[in-house]
Amino acid sequence: MNRIVRHTVVAVLSWSLVPVPGAAVRAEAAEPLARVEMPAVAERLVDSAANRIADSLGVLEPFVRRLVALRQGGEGVVSVFHIGDSHVQAGFLTDTLRMFFQRDFGSAGRGLVAPLRLIGTNEPFGYRITSPNRWTGYRCTGASADCPVGVTAMALATDEPDARFTISARDSFSLVRAFHHPHAPLLLAPDSLAAGIACPCGDTEEMTAVVLDRPVTETALWAPVRDSLYDTPVFYGFSLENGRPGVLYHASGINGTTFEHLNRNGEELVRQSALLAPDLIVVSLGTNDSFGRNYNTEYVYRQIVSFVRSLQRVNPGVPLLLTAPMEFCKRQYSKGRYVRVVNPNGARTAALIGRAAAECGAAFWDFYRAAGGAGANGRWQQAGLVRRDRIHLSEEGYTLQARMLYNAFVDYYNRIVR
């Protein structure tokens, strides 16, 4: 029997709260948003004139109007999908953005969570996924797609006859959407939590909704292999939702990811991105693309455009926002020791991302210029906002980056609703 009709779910869910497409929105009647407060140090670090979203085509306007409708009507779910590398995997940037969006527009839940600890890497704060199983982990950064990765840019596989997860989160949830291999066994909640009203709930061969009968901050899920057609326990991640109107801010980041990695190994990620029903896709890559002795601007540019085009093909009409990394350093051997020097390819990659955004009809936030352009890495490091590797930001640095991006969005939003 097909998994789409095998699961027990409830009839009223966040998926069904999306407003009717095309509903009229009087944006001019919308209240403007307040900008978030910036720390005092930002005054000497941030180029306020450059801290804006470039969008000459108005591609983000439909996203703004979705948010206006949500804010005015108090109904619906607006979904954001943020794709990135270690800057996203750390969670500080996206957790802060999630906080601001949900403060202003309501929270529909934690959104996408990845079992990163189970593949031996760092997991963001705010949730934890554990399992007694023996797992083999795969990442999009692998040399080849030995096991296809999913929407979280990673995969977990086991050869055990059942798979078990315990998911806990800071914020309560009443719905878990599981992303998995098309032939994965069905995930079940404990009898004490499982809801008992059956309906399709938007299930697909690669996504199963597990609906709970009450909000919880922790649940166990069990996937026994009972059917020879569904005997491939490969899982990618989960979306934790609460069934209420508001914003879902999904984040998918893996250390070391490049545009090339996602073009080579990210076919399933791109395809499954549509399962999140995104109203906006944010892409924050480029740091790792800027390393290597054989850096080639035209090759990197083609990789950027190829990935953006693949997202647009799978998510037609969904606006994209590309962001550039700020200035960062590389290690260089000099006089018998390694020293940190500015990576000149960072500025080149930032410009390429802006060029690709213009070609592909995407919006662009130039964090390179907004953070202060050339010399910014040293200034941010002196302020304690950059880590010792001179590539990654501190928690305070990522929080400042999120405040900058959200204020750039607030300025854009307010221009639209005036």
Assess whether pLDDT exceeds 60 at residue 13: no
pLDDT at 96 over 70: yes
Residue 14 has pLDDT above 80, yes or no: no
State yes or no: pLDDT of 6 exceeds 90: no
Confidence (pTM) = 0.92
Q: How far apart are CA 279 and CA 79, in angstroms?
A: 5
**Beta strand extents in 121-279 (DSSP E only):** 127-130, 136-139, 154-157, 162-180, 207-224, 234-241, 246-253
> At 145, is the pLDDT very low, low, confident or very high (cuts 50, 70, 90)?
low
Mean pLDDT of 114-141: 96
Confidence of residue 194 (pLDDT cuts 50, 70, 90): confident
Helices 61-73, 92-105: inter-axial angle, 10-degree rounding: 50
Mean pLDDT of 18-32: 49
pLDDT at 26 over 90: no
Question: pLDDT tier at 23 (50, 70, 90 boundaries)?
Answer: very low
* Residue 10: per-residue pLDDT: 35
Q: Please report, for residues 237, 261, 390, the alpha-carbon distance to residue 92 in angstroms, rounded to integers and kept in the order given.
A: 19, 23, 17
What confidence tier does 25 reach under pLDDT thresholds 50, 70, 90? very low
What is the share, in percent, of the chain residues with pLDDT greater than 70? 91
Full set of structural domains in the chain with CATH: 3-13+40-417 (3.40.50.1110)
Supply 47's token pair. 């180029």
Q: What would the pLDDT profile of 324-375 be if each residue is shown by its tens digit? A: 999 999 998 877 888 899 999 999 999 999 999 999 999 999 999 999 999 9
